[in-house]
Structure 1
């Protein structure tokens, strides 16, 4: 089994904090998810997470006007410059303090950052294609100027359209106008008059007006006008004296939102649209400068933290961090483009669908979410459970999902109609912590921390069949053998029992261990059992003989990462480390184990060695990710990270403590601890074994073997021309290179010429070496040629070669090539129907000519007719194609 799994994608979290960004073409949305960045493609309905990670949660994003460079800044002011098309981090840089605002100029040559009370302007690092002189850039980050004048934290930065001026708004109730370079006759200007901190400030499209927006919901429109208290100007030379002209408030407007505070705002100069989001989850769209409301909508139960508008002003993106919501709203049609929300509590378990296309996750928030592994989106959310959902499992056919919950119910879900069709409960009120379903889907079992029995129900009738007694403590883990022969249960009484629940006697075989059992897993061949215990041991048992075969001490492997409250180093705190979840690989050769640690361990079952350790997170915003604590952060009152600074917040609503005494969550279901512990509650291999996923504190992490970028061997440069393509085809006879060059140029006549110029005996070899990045295009092209061109057998040979060489890739990526496969199916069906009709017509014609009367005229016509058929060399050929039926195609060659 290959072990080179690499991080592929992050699901389950769509927005954490910070600002959102649209790509320059407005089709992609950049969202910070913890210490990573996820890009949502709103046109193709997919999402992917960039592979790099910050040391802390990201707070600010910036994108160049060309969309090729992304600047991300975390809570400590550490910045990473990333090449977006290549997904590669180019440079790391650290600002002196935390960054509160970030904005790139429209020209793309500068970016401004708010660092505390100062505004710093830096040169944007250039890419090689931007260097006109071809000079090498040795210093990617060069500071242009520092602007000082504010007395509190800078909260917003906005550039003018010509990149000569920019606006800054701060908590000191003022906004300031700055020039990038010294301008003749211009002095930095202060705009004062608001009663609370400035949240945003914007230039109008013609730069004749300025809009400033404060936290109390006041919107001021500023214009450059004459001071009314100044002496009257000279009529003969009215434009000479400019000393009395200044920026003044031309109009005041106020948002009326019933004590709700303004949380964010965005302005689109081209359409004069102002969007404001409030702390009660309502946003409004206003037409400026008249301040007419278009419409208002409530989209969240909590604060709207950020809003942004795409380039053409049609789509609005909203982020709400408390519940992890991300919304894209098309305001003219009043419809959602994107509506996603992750779990706002700890994930407890996960399971792949049998076809591997979807992952189901359950969490303490009582929700069950279905995630599409290809698109990365949540497609269904079930909310019927009233408490935390602890376990989930599929039946063998994959259409029915079973979940157990702390609300005392086991529910069965139909994943075709997406509904709950059966609910199982115990005679007394219990909380179920583990569950197992018989592979045939006839019996479901569940264990509870409140009792020592295992409850079994009939899925067909919903009746309680039996309560299996034998354990002396609570049941902590359950698993059926894949062949359905036995049920395995683990308990806190240091035993694992193997039950034959389908026998008349219902006997159980106890296996004695040294500590509490945390998790059990049965090998896919049903011959071996893996058990994880509280002392960090992994033991392997024979199911048929009930004897221990081997074991692994995993305490040192799982230990790593020191929590903020630990008094010992990570290496010496091994006594509390253990694996809380284990699973076998698809072939049964490896075991994947994880627990309350930042590591996921992959063990070989045969050699009992640690094959690889995967680091879940390096995010220092989580507790338990660093090996050594910084003694400078340890004060007399304890670690600085645990000191409650809520009472020292500058804003009143941030100082109010709404939690209930003694309650972890209180009245706010989204309240989290300040530094949650890094942990993995569930791991699962995909059915194909090419990837695995882990339910962690940060979200649903997917590790895959297929993370290598799609390599294109021939880039589009000056040498790739139609003439050179034809020369490669006819002179060099390098058919693969000619085909790739034709795809790069994307000219249909040239592509058809190259396609038809490849000999039929070389089709299989050329297709075998074709990069997979071109497979969807070649499938669609061949299907269209099969419908239009007369070369039927030639096109069928292409289709056969593609499916022979890349059938596994097509099967794994069926969702992305579904339209191409439908086109191929339509073309093949059309060829089949035409050949069948042609063969029938020819057979009827021959039969008619043979049965003509023997008269001179009829015989003469009959002979002539047969001569015509004979001269055309009519012969019946059989073309065998793979399909659902075993029928043969008959036609004429």
Structure 2
């Protein structure tokens, strides 16, 4: 049966939806004929109808027991009309009470006690609405039987899907039920639009952004395709809402929601005249916006991730915080990057640098897989083998090295050149390597043995380039001696010498079929040669300065060249005619390449831009900006969907070509980041800073989701509640504050500490908060009321850290007085005094089972204590001046800690051996945390960055490698081999951009 309803069949892959489908299947089959594409909204509609029928019947039964007459149809109709989320209900008068429950208005005295609803002084709802809700929940209205109380003044639907469905339904009905004041036959489209625009500010869709309400957005989007007559005009009216924002900024929320909904529904948004529209914070990810006009529009914080933006006009648009979705940008090299290349399967990138290293990166995540060390000087070129299993590199140290990609192991060191080796390449079958050098020679090597097979001698000056022919039987070389030469690989004999250039030849390439050679020279000409005869076929002139690159198109019919004259030229090979001159770069063009299908070009320049061009028309398609230094190389992926580039700014970047790859422009912290923490599900990160703000970030993308402002001084600590809906913060302004994650609104402000508050934390059930301060106290607070419940006194100096036990029954605190104290949460009584540290204790934490406590101190030690006895179990000495923060991994098998330096270390327990040394922060690290699953560590620093480090994939990515660093003899009997793995997945730089980094062996 379900096969006749394809959408249902797909929905059944989700367990919850499967349950809904099975529950309402009979009614669905009655409503929808075979072959109908039943939407999620229609499924929920059927489920909620059934759910309402059940609860209306329950209400009727209860009222019947009290001998109160009921009208089932009236109760159901009223219930359907008024169920919605509190965020969307706006009642204009108290008639709601009578309308909702008229038969019960005079019966309240007979039906139990009233339910008290307390007002929250921070409630942002109008007093009028509050009064309505207060009366709505008093007595025995319908709400009493379908809602459950979850707090002093909070109620929740018994089924969340009902809440989401009715929220969406209310928004939709608001939009489609509006009618003009005149008959539609007598009104023009312009008059209709004017009347509709006047009504838009009052629509529910204009009350708040729906970005965090993905289910609500999806329900509304489903209705766009609903064939029911009531929904016929929904799509056109969403477009009208967007249109209304052109002249009325007060409907920008409605317009942003409307365009987000249309995009979520897969509606094409191409060629729209959206000049002057105002859609800040809209989500247009993967939208089709070809030719759309956004001139003068407000696009602040709009997300265009992977959107199609060909010919899209952004002239004079406000684009603060706009997000185009540049893929990973890879940092780790400490010097200029000379080359970056994609593996044959596009899964990895290899780069080489002046810093003497070769690095291999994961294309998808941006994670650095290997740091290949061995070269003694700058590494000039690196390439993958044809099968992607090996990498070859060459260096100023006169050597060539072959590496295994999987392990990072060095397989061969090829010695023979007597001067710097400038280039290297695998043969097409991967069995040989060809290299060329300043020593005037080209050499051929056997990969398996590392043996030198041939030395090709004949050039009288340095060799600038050498390349295998497509069949691997020949090698092409060019030199400062003005010649191009072709050699036989097997014999090493020179086959052809091509003379004609009267200045140095700095580049040469075989055509794809191997029949021709193109060469470029300092004399500003390109010459095409016949391989068989060695004769010159064409001489191409047009550039006014040296050329930096020349390449055949994949079909061999065209040539492209780039030059220091800031231009790119496309040439017809057969005629030698110049087809196109591409002029947009403002400085030297360092190189140019065809896409694999030959339809596009990518060029890169000293002007710090990458540009994509259409070959047939010569039109510039995209400009990719982000590098802060001259770009040395760029390359298309095989499917032309991405580009990789490397620069003098020491980064490798990956760009999504369909998007335009402009970097994420989220504004970050403007001063030291003091603390950072994961939400329980790991999907978000919260940070706080000396800049007085708290910011919430999306872990997967690094996008800033929310910024909370209110503290009047540096914010020292932040933490999510266990349900992820609230954040607690503490500050130098002596306050503890509670915030709503979704809205960013301040819910509570707790003021009893007399000095700066160092730390604050929710209890496991989120009902309480504990905080500690430089006033020498810790305090326990009630979350809902903000009232102080207990003051924990006993420390004789600043209390630096405080935490609830996992069961919420105990609290641990630590102090500048050198002690750790355990307290009973309910009574505030001190249970244990832990002494042993010789200096300030900076941090404490319970183990996940609550049986142990971890502490760290200025005495350079990390200690583990038994909670029940108060005895010290383990003492680990760190090689640092002092240990600032330490934390157990979730399984208690590791400890991560940071000191007053820039490094972070992960130790195994109980030995205290280094598993990882994490480096990357450029200033002191202020805080570290394991993610809830223990797979990542997040850190924050005075360098204004938040960095996310992947732990487990680092272990899986590489084999162990011996380090010569010693471990303290206090910790282990002898020096031990230990891994120093540096793995950085993503970090937030000074400007708030997310950057991907990775695994490094030190």
TM-score, normalised on structure 1? 0.49
TM-score, normalised on structure 2? 0.44
| Greater relative CO, 1 or 2 (CA 8 Å, sep 6+) | 1
